[in-house]
Amino acid sequence: MISISERKRLNKYIDRFPATRTLVVGDIVLDHYIWGKVSRISPEAPVPVVNVTKENLLLGGATNVVNNIHALGGVVGVCGVIGHDEAGKQLLHLLHAQGIAIDGLIVEQNRPTTIKTRIIAHSQQVVRFDRETKSKIEKETHRRIFDYVRQQVSEGLDAIVLSDYCKGVVTRELVRDIARLAKKNDVIVAVDPKVSHFGMYSGVTILTPNLNEASIGAKIEIDDDRSLLKAGALLLKRLKCKAVLITRGEHGMSLFEQSGKITHIPTVAQEVFDVTGAGDTVISALTLAMAAGANTVDAAGISNYAAGIVVGIVGTATVKPGELKQRILAG
């Protein structure tokens, strides 16, 4: 249990969120939801017939991180790739409606915009189908992305989030170039990793794997405190990053720092209804807090409170600064 003075200190960092500038670089996804009801099974095959009642389009992938940072009050931009198609236009429209700059989005003519379509009946996902390509971006696209990142850094960027969904944008070369540029300019680089890309993230500031991702990345089965400590130390050593924050569901978080300090943060979630998008909320709040001047322990604590809010809501959710401050003060 943290003291009242500690809670007030955390809230002062949240007050500084609007003064921070973050750029999210990664895989752009359009989330398409089809909602309906099931009352019978198809006579053609043993599958449910969904009577559609509504549809909606939401920012997904890297743009869900953008949405989270924007909701928390930070100034945020986005850089990634979309296709020359209707889904790309829809994404531009959704970002523009939020007042988020879209000049960092690059159109690749022969690459479709990634769409994830989920069919949901009676609050349960029936099926999901994806339209995408996972091939690496073109060399010219890589150059344009890095040029845009370099321009943003020169204009006073505080932090970069690499949002990797294994769709071809976050490559080994791009991570290497961004990590070097950020180090020279004292810019935070935070990564929510994907297990198949673990070896690519060398030199970033902080990683936020979940327990399963950390286990696979460290090549250690994490089943007790001893194996957890070993995995955290190994990831720090292998990736040469300043910190690793392992999210552990109902067991909270464990923060491993380059200095050797280890901090275990208990969960503050009161009830867990849905963990969808919780990883995006964690990395968004963590990065904003670090950009606002919080040390890694305080930043992890703030992200833990933010995650505790979103897992109590069904569906992908964002957190507002006021509700985050209120939750922190409530303990």
Give per-residue pLDDT as tens, 15-69: 999 999 999 999 999 999 999 999 999 999 999 999 999 999 999 999 999 999 9
pLDDT tens per residue, range 109-167: 889 999 999 999 987 889 999 999 999 999 999 999 999 999 999 999 999 999 999 99
From 3.40.1190.20, 3.40.50.1820, 3.40.50.620, 3.40.50.150, which CATH number describes the 4-29+59-114+132-330 domain? 3.40.1190.20
Report d(CA 129, CA 168) in Å as an integer: 19
pLDDT tens per residue, range 197-243: 988 999 999 999 999 999 999 999 999 999 999 999 999 999 999 99
Please say whether the beta carbons of 79 and 25 come within 8 A.
yes
179-199: average pLDDT: 93
Dihedrals phi, psi of 206, to nearest 5 degrees: -150, 145
Please say whether the beta carbons of 119 and 125 come within 8 A.
yes
pLDDT exceeding 90 applies to what percent of the chain? 81
2, pLDDT greater than 80:
no
Residue 116 backbone zone (phi > 0: left; psi -120 to 50: alpha; other: beta): beta
Residue 268: CB atoms within 10 A of its CB come to: 18
Q: Is 280 a catalytic residue?
A: yes
Q: Which residues on neighbouring strands pair with residue 324, listed in sequence order?
A: none
161: which 2 tokens? Answer: 């989030």
pLDDT tens per residue, range 78-113: 999 999 999 999 999 999 999 999 999 999 988 999
Residue 212: CB atoms within 10 A of its CB come to: 11
**Helix ranges restricted to H, the chain:** 4-15, 62-71, 86-97, 139-154, 172-185, 211-218, 225-239, 278-291, 296-310, 321-330
Looking at per-residue pLDDT, the higher value among 271 and 211 belongs to: 211
Residue 320 backbone zone (phi > 0: left; psi -120 to 50: alpha; other: beta): beta
Name the pTM for this structure. 0.93
Which residue among 31, 164, 280, 298 is the active-site one? 280
